[in-house]
Amino acid sequence: MLDKLLIDRIHALPLPVEVAWPGGVCRSGEPRVRVELRDRGLLPALAAGRIGRLAEAYVEGRVDFVGSLRELMAMAGALAGDPLQGSRAASPLRRAADQVASRLRHRPGTDARNVQSHYDVSDDFYALWLDPRRVYSCAYFPRADMTLSQAQEAKLDHICRKLQLRPGQRFLDVGAGWGGLLLWAARHYGVDATGITLSRNQHEYVQGLIDADGLGRRVRVQLLDYRDLPEDRPFDAIASVGMFEHVGRARLAAYFAKLRRLLVPGGLVMNHGITAAGLRTEQLGAGIGNFIERFIFPGGELEHVSHVTRRMSDAGLELVDAENLRPHYARTLWAWSDALEARLGEAERITSQATVRAFRVYLAGSAMAFERRWMALYQLLGTRPTDDPQDGTIRGAQSRYPFNRSYMYGG
């Protein structure tokens, strides 16, 4: 019965494949992908489309494949169907339990360990497949012919323009990564820039860049939790890029409230991050969320953009612009995936076979997920309104924001 169900699933796939398992094989047409299951106990997962479970088995060496990752992901996407289907509103008891669990998962010590488990894998490993600035977030492709490096620079500049950065302003980068935005803002916009990170590797690397450029008088990076940032000298502009996914849904309200207190009245804050595609989807189904939690981003939690904007508003930040960059992230992830595929041998020497396998399926699988609208990526620009009637720069009601997008694209 199980073998017949599996054979029916394989023949229904949109591309010809071959799947082999102990005691059996199924081929549809002239196969472009071959998947080998070394454990017959994985057959139920394959038949049920639990591709996250199969990804775990691949990392563990119990599944292998021959063929391109793009074609493998086309097969995986067809097997999974729609991981957003079947989600229902949680009961009040379930919501309360989830909030407690989220709060416990996102205490300062736990967040630091989770971040370090991902970002401190190896700087050299990330350098193999990121752009030269090591920007580890969605790029921005205003032109189709852009390289990844050009698109990452365009993204950095897009954020700086949206924040209306000017020389002498105090700028905060929450979750500064390897310093791409921090240094771009300092070099091209003349700001006094502060970055924070929980990654020891990233902190050391960015400090080296600051020292090498002689920017120590107006650029600094701190190994610091956002909760511990002093509030006595608020910032003119704040960016949070690829950060709030690690905050935890139970902590989002406090997170945005903290950003508001760190922002001067009239200042702007950019929240750039991944959001869930479904209103009631706490994590992707088909076992995908479990795979990411175990091997990639422990503690990561996604919210729908409507929930995020509500938390921003509750914290006293007015949403003034929202831009969905989902297709840009699919292209970014494929660029990362292709770069890693070209240097698999080096990657394994730097890290391990298991790490490389995890990132192979993570990058390609995420690219597929963004293509299929299972996730989204939003830039949410907010402001802390000001009611100072003496401020001649105020435009609109209690805000310096111009309420048009022309300034983002001029010049």
CATH number at residue 8: 3.30.1050.10
Does one domain contain both 185 and 326? Answer: yes
Does one domain contain both 243 and 152? Answer: yes
Strand 63-66 with 33-37, pairing: antiparallel
How confident is the model at residue 87, as a pLDDT?
46
Smallest CA-to-CA distance from 331 within 147, 172, 171 is with 147
Q: Is residue 29 one of the residues assigned to a domain?
A: yes
Domain count, the chain: 2
How confident is the model at residue 302, as a pLDDT?
85
Q: Is residue 118 one of the residues assigned to a domain?
A: yes
How confident is the model at residue 114, as a pLDDT?
55
Rounded Cα gap, residues 113 and 110, in angstroms: 5
Which of 12-26, 199-213, 319-333 shows the lowest per-residue confidence on average (mean pLDDT)?
12-26
How confident is the model at residue 88, as a pLDDT?
47
86: pLDDT strictly greater than 50: no
Does one domain contain both 361 and 402? Answer: yes
Which of 181-185, 187-191, 241-245 shows the lowest per-residue confidence on average (mean pLDDT)?
241-245
How confident is the model at residue 385, as a pLDDT?
87
Q: Name 280's bridge partners.
A: none
pLDDT band at 112 (very low <50, low <70, confident <90, very high): low
Smallest CA-to-CA distance from 263 within 397, 157, 385, 387 is with 385
Q: Name 63's bridge partners.
A: 37
Q: Is residue 88 one of the residues assigned to a domain?
A: no
Q: Is residue 92 one of the residues assigned to a domain?
A: no
Rounded Cα gap, residues 337 and 325, in angstroms: 18
Does one domain contain both 22 and 111? Answer: no
Does one domain contain both 71 and 120? Answer: no
Q: Is residue 89 one of the residues assigned to a domain?
A: no
CATH number of the domain enclosing 300: 3.40.50.150
169: pLDDT strictly greater than 70: yes
3-52 pLDDT tens trace: 677 788 888 888 899 999 998 898 888 899 999 999 999 998 988 888 88
61-80 pLDDT tens trace: 999 999 999 999 999 988 88
CB 264 within 8 A of CB 384: yes
Single-letter residue type at 153: E
How confident is the model at residue 205, as a pLDDT?
96
Which of 78-92, 142-156, 357-371, 373-387 shows the lowest per-residue confidence on average (mean pLDDT)?
78-92
pLDDT band at 403 (very low <50, low <70, confident <90, very high): confident
Which has more confidence, 299 or 29? 29
Does one domain contain both 45 and 136? Answer: no
374: pLDDT strictly greater than 50: yes
Q: Is residue 99 one of the residues assigned to a domain?
A: no
Does one domain contain both 225 and 268? Answer: yes
The whole-number average pLDDT for the span 155-166 is 97
Single-letter residue type at 105: R
Does one domain contain both 260 and 402? Answer: yes
HEC profile of 322-353: EEECHHHHHHHHHHHHHHHHCCHHHHHHHCCH
390: pLDDT strictly greater than 60: no
221-269 pLDDT tens trace: 999 999 999 999 999 999 999 988 888 788 899 999 999 999 999 999 9
Which has more confidence, 39 or 292? 39
How confident is the model at residue 94, as a pLDDT?
54
| Mean pLDDT of all residues belonging to the chain | 87
Q: Is residue 87 one of the residues assigned to a domain?
A: no
Backbone angles phi, psi at 321, to 5 degrees: -160, 140
120: pLDDT strictly greater than 80: no
Does one domain contain both 75 and 109? Answer: no
396: pLDDT strictly greater than 50: no
180: pLDDT strictly greater than 50: yes
Give the residue numbers spanning the domain of 9: 2-80
How confident is the model at residue 89, as a pLDDT?
47
The C-alpha angle with vertex 126 and arms to 152 and 322, in degrees rounded to 5, equals 35
Q: Is residue 86 one of the residues assigned to a domain?
A: no
100: pLDDT strictly greater than 90: no
Rounded Cα gap, residues 202 and 210, in angstroms: 12
190-200 pLDDT tens trace: 999 999 998 99
Does one domain contain both 160 and 300? Answer: yes
Does one domain contain both 42 and 111? Answer: no
204 alpha-carbon distance from chain centroid = 22
What percent of the chain stands above pLDDT 90? 62
Does one domain contain both 342 and 204? Answer: yes
Map tokens 């009637």 to a residue.
Answer: 389
The whole-number average pLDDT for the span 362-388 is 91
